[in-house]
């Protein structure tokens, strides 16, 4: 004689999942550094709730080509275009990752950095 036992997981409580502010801040910090193309230590972020979502302020240097590389400078876009592109990309990515609307996103350029050259093998 065999018996079977059916075990069901308890249903999840209705409601919403809350993520601590510190976790959201770390996610925003890392995603911002990746979107801009700088090291995480160079980026400062402020995150607060605003109008049903998050308001994010990112303070970061902007990577620029070496000033001796005139071809890269000529081929590059303006600072305004680059920052606008970062804002759009970051807003969509953060909304997806956090599950909340990014109702306000400000990127403040604090300076410029020249990324180190990588050797091609």
Task: Kindly provide the residue ranges of all beta strands, DSSP E only, lying in 1-121, ordered along the sequence.
Answer: 44-50, 53-63, 102-113
Q: What percent of the chain shows pLDDT beyond 70? A: 81
What confidence tens digit (pLDDT) does each residue in 73-118 have?
888 888 899 999 999 999 999 999 888 899 999 999 999 998 777 6
Residue 40, by phi and psi: left (phi above 0), alpha (psi -120 to 50) or beta? Answer: alpha
* C-alpha to C-alpha distances, 87 to 32, 35, 36, 54, 121, nearest whole angstrom: 9, 9, 9, 14, 34
């Amino acid at each position: 004689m065999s018996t079977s036992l059916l075990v069901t997981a308890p249903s999840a409580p209705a409601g919403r999942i809350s993520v601590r502010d510190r976790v959201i801040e770390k996610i925003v910090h890392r995603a911002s550094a990746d979107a801009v193309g700088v090291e995480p230590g160079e980026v400062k972020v402020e995150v607060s709730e605003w109008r049903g979502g998050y308001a994010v302020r990112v303070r970061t240097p902007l990577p620029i080509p070496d000033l001796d590389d005139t071809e890269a400078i000529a081929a590059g876009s303006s600072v305004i275009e680059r920052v606008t592109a970062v804002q759009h990309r970051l807003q969509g990515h953060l909304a997806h990752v956090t599950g909340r609307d990014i109702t306000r996103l400000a990127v403040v350029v604090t300076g410029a950095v020249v990324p180190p050259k990588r050797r091609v093998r």
